[in-house]
Structures are given as C-alpha cells and as structure tokens.
Amino acid sequence: MTILFALLLAAAPVAEPVCAAPAPLAEPWTSWTQSGRAQAGAQVQGAPALMLGKPVVADLTPADYVQFAAAPGKRDKEGHGGLFTLSLRQAARIGIALDGPAWVDVVAGKVAVDSVEHGHGPACSGIRKIVWFDLPAGRHIVQIAGAKAPTVRIMAADAKANQPVAAAN
C-alpha cells in the first residue's frame, strides 16, 4: 500500500503556484517584466540582437522555416523557433531566461556551446527556465527551438551584473 501511495504521488502533476502578484526579482533579473518587441530571425543574417539585461517578447517562426546555425539540441517540427545575436566584450557566464517551454542553444561559430547549469526561475516570477553558458568574448547566436507558443519572452543576463565589487585591502 505504501508503494502504491508513493507511486501515485510521484505521478501526480506538479501544480503551478497561485500568484497574487509577481515575485520581486534579484539581479540580474530585475528588468524581466519590462520588455520591447522583436521578430526572431529565421536565419542568422538579420537576426535581432539581444542586449544584456533587456528582455524582449519575440515573435517566433514555425521551426521548419528556421535556418538554425547548428542543429538544435532538441527539435520539435510542430514547434516554433527563432534566432538572435548576442555580442560580448569579454568572457562571461550568461543566463538565457525564457517564459515558456522551449529549447535554447547558444552557438559560437558553427558549434553549440554546452550549458553549465539550468533551472527554473523564482516562483511567481514569470521566468520558466534559465540556462547558463560560459561564453567567450565575441558574437554568438542564441537559438530557440521547440517552443509550443508563437511568442516567447527572452532575456540574456550576465551572472555578475550589478554584483558588489570586493574592496581591495
């Protein structure tokens, strides 16, 4: 009986929290609720730029019409996708946050960069997932694939944004 109860609990869907108001966010996500609009690129040339700390609500394209820079880590032919550029002056740990279910890759050159960490955003924040990448300086392509919705809120943030600098002794 105990095993049956444990199996039933494990199989039960996890309910989303009921939120009376959005949760306040800590750095580097404080600007998450602000946003502009963008049309995600269907090819690298002409893909819009993501600016660190500036979220956008992006219109996506059916994935079959997106020319990905590298094969997505996960692809859903019935989903939506899109491309963005991200330029960094120096190497950094960058988090890519999304408000809905989708796969996110960062491509340097023609190779997808392995993520170093991933997780959910704070409860009631509107951030569904955050995927972290250690990226070198330069221009990168951020790819969204397998999104069920035709739009996604996306934000790139530097892990060290607005962190206090240690005082020198």
Residue 30 lies in a domain: yes
Residue 95 lies in a domain: yes
Residue 90 lies in a domain: yes
Residue 168 lies in a domain: no
Residue 77 lies in a domain: yes
Residue 20 lies in a domain: no
Question: Using H for helix, E for strand and C for coil, what is the string for the chain?
Answer: CHHHHHHHHHHCCCCCCCCCCCCCCCCCCCCCCCCEEEECECCCCCCCECECCECEEEECEEHHHCCCCCCCCCCCCCCEEEEEEEEECCCEEEEEEECCCCEEEEEECCEEECCCEEECCCCCCCCCEEEEEEECCEEEEEEEEEECCCEEEEEEEECCCCCCCCCCC
Number of domains the chain contains: 1
Residue 19 lies in a domain: no
43-92 pLDDT, tens digit each: 999 999 999 999 999 999 999 999 999 988 876 667 999 999 999 999 99
Cα 139 from Cα 150, distance rounded (Å)? 26
The boundaries of the domain holding residue 45 are 26-158
Residue 21 lies in a domain: no
pLDDT given for residue 167 in this prediction: 46
82-126 pLDDT, tens digit each: 999 999 999 999 999 999 999 999 999 888 999 999 888 878 888
Predicted model pTM = 0.81
